[in-house]
Amino acid sequence: MISPVKMRLELKKGINNTYLIDDTYNHDLAGLTRALDFMNQQNQLTKKTVILSDFIRSKNSSQFYSALNDLLIKKGVDKLVAIGPELFTNKAQFSVSTEFFDDVEALLGSKTLRQFKNELILIKGAPDFTLEKVSKSLVEKGHKTILEINLDAIIHNLNFYKSLLKPETQVMVVVKALAYGAGSTEISKLLEYHKVDYLSVAYVDEGILLRQDGIKAPIMVMNASQDEPFNLMRYDLEPEIYSLEQLKSFLSAYQLANKVLPAHLILNTGMNRLGFNESDLDSLIDTIANNPQIHIKSIFTHLAASDDQTQEGFTREQVALFRNGADKIDVALSYKPIRHILNSGGIVRHNEFQEDMVRLGIGLHGIEVSALSADKLKNPATLKTIVSQIRTVKAGETIGYARKGKAEKEMTVATIAVGYADGYLRYFSNGNAYVMINGQKAKTIGSICMDMTMVDITGLEVHAGDEVVVFGTNPTVSQLAEWGNTIPYEILTNINNRVKRVFYSE
Ligand SMILES: *Cc1c(COP(=O)(O)O)cnc(C)c1O
């Protein structure tokens, strides 16, 4: 079984488009306040319901219950589902819409439970009330492999990067590719709550999803192809502009709609991916100067080797070329666009180039892009699965496809519920990686299958159903990347959508 970590708030997807926040610890008003704040910070859905059991240790006073009612109203709760005799006895104190049940069994058997939909539900009660039965019956069932994201660690990492910057430097957080696999809406909600200045995504569709989930922060789209300007306008997304052709095609669409084009100009200074070359600048400036319907929100460039000490000279050349180009554009404008250069590696190694804003990506996810930030970051992501079956394999038998795994002597093998379709790369086959089961290392044996992997547990204390840590603090994403001959970015963004994301705050 996946064992619960003590004292934490968990956000999970529930049935009928609900989100569940599970909290069966600290059952007092302070704990409830914290849980309601967490609910408002996530704010996934506008309708908010609280399922609450009696407060065992509370003084049974009407004052207490009227304070409880005030708190629920203040935090925007739409409905209270109250369980237990004490809450019922004090029903006169509640003005918030309330439904009462004698006990958990009564709620479980009711039609109320089956009718929850499109709402954010906080489940909070004393452990004795077995409210986890309610949570179990509401949670979306599925694949036993989950990616747990520690939201406190994300904020810790954000604050570490901010500590390297001047207080006035703005922060754009790059949440492309599902926020590096962590879950774009939930991470964006968290970042918005912590007041980051900008978000950025790779493609228009990613931006649309964030808007549909209620994200209000400004969003830059890095690779808006030329045919989607109306989606940009409709969802208030701001395109990165990388060529004159793209600029002109967007401009005509915005002119047609009588709207100002909010443009983020990217200058190519050596990355040779997207952007204006130095030789393009004159015609770019010409176009901007002649079209007041273009508003330059920012000018930026992307470093090719920000985290590499041996490329420091090249990085400096990129910065000089950028500043030169940006100065030229500035001259043609009556206002001053935001300038930005640095990604995570750049912030750590070159904060002298922080300009007006930075673009933070992988660092938020605790990946040490530079030895300089080692030990300063916290790991937010843990990929967990379970042991499906255990068997004894006799000496001379083989394990898995193509008979790649060989039992030299009798061994015990566990099959775990994660495979390359989940993002556990086939590269990790035949002992190239280990997982942790009950604090013990178990190496892979044979080839990784699409949905399953066999690991060697000879001599270890393991049972079917036990929790398996695929990555987290040990092994780390960076270790897996090394074993898989790749980079941490690829390990994180390979985690398939069928792996349920569970968010928590401690
Ligand atoms: C992905 C990306 C970033 C973030 O880079 P990290 O190395 O993850 O911090 C910043 N800027 C641009 C243009 C990017 O494509």
CA–centroid distance, residue 144 to ligand 1 (Å): 32
Q: Are strands 79-83 and 48-53 parallel, antiparallel or unpaired?
A: parallel
Q: Tell me the pTM.
A: 0.87
Q: Whose CA is closest to atom 13 on ligand 1?
A: 302
Give yes or no for residue 345 CB within 6 A of ligand 1. Answer: yes
Res. 6: pLDDT tops 50: no
The pLDDT assigned to 331 comes to: 95
Backbone dihedral angles phi then psi of residue 16, each to the nearest 5 degrees: 50, 50
CA–centroid distance, residue 361 to ligand 1 (Å): 5
Give yes or no for residue 488 CB within 6 A of ligand 1. Answer: no
CA–centroid distance, residue 392 to ligand 1 (Å): 47
- Residue 102 burial (C-beta neighbours within 10 Å; 0-12, 13-18, 19+): exposed
The answer to whether residue 401 is catalytic is yes
The yes/no answer on whether domain 9-141 falls in CATH 3.40.50.2300 is no
Calculate the alpha carbon distances from 101 to 25, 35, 88, 110 in Å: 21, 22, 8, 9
CATH number of 381-505: 2.40.37.10
Long-range contacts of 398-405 (CB under 8 A, 24+ apart): 398/446, 399/445, 399/446, 399/454, 400/445, 400/446, 400/447, 400/449, 400/454, 401/446, 401/447, 401/449, 402/447, 404/429, 404/430, 404/446, 404/447, 405/430, 405/445, 405/446, 405/447, 405/454
Backbone dihedral angles phi then psi of residue 288, each to the nearest 5 degrees: -65, -45
- Rounded to whole angstroms, the Cα distance separating 252 from 144 reads 50
The label of the residue with tokens 């001259």 reads 331
Which entry of 48, 124, 176, 500 is annotated as an active-site residue? 176
CB within 8 Å of 446: residues ≥ 6 apart: 398, 399, 400, 401, 404, 405, 429, 430, 454
* pLDDT tens column, 253-271: 999 999 999 999 999 999 9
Atom of ligand 1 nearest to the CA of 347: 9
The pLDDT assigned to 345 comes to: 94
Q: Across residues 407-422, what is the average pLDDT?
A: 97
Q: Is 278 helix (H, G, I), strand (E, B) or coil?
A: helix
CA–centroid distance, residue 200 to ligand 1 (Å): 9
HSE-up (13 A, CA, CB side) for residue 56: 10
| Same fold: 9-141 with 381-505 | no
User: Is the model more confident about 25 or about 133?
Assistant: 133
Q: Whose CA is closest to atom 6 on ligand 1?
A: 361
Give yes or no for residue 207 CB within 6 A of ligand 1. Answer: no
CA–centroid distance, residue 360 to ligand 1 (Å): 7
The pLDDT assigned to 59 comes to: 62
Q: Across residues 444-462, what is the average pLDDT?
A: 98
Cα-Cα end-to-end distance for the chain: 20
* pLDDT tens column, 21-55: 988 666 788 888 988 988 888 777 789 999 999 88
Residue ranges covered by each domain of the chain: 9-141, 151-376, 381-505
Atom of ligand 1 nearest to the CA of 360: 9
Atom of ligand 1 nearest to the CA of 359: 10
The yes/no answer on whether domain 151-376 falls in CATH 3.20.20.10 is yes
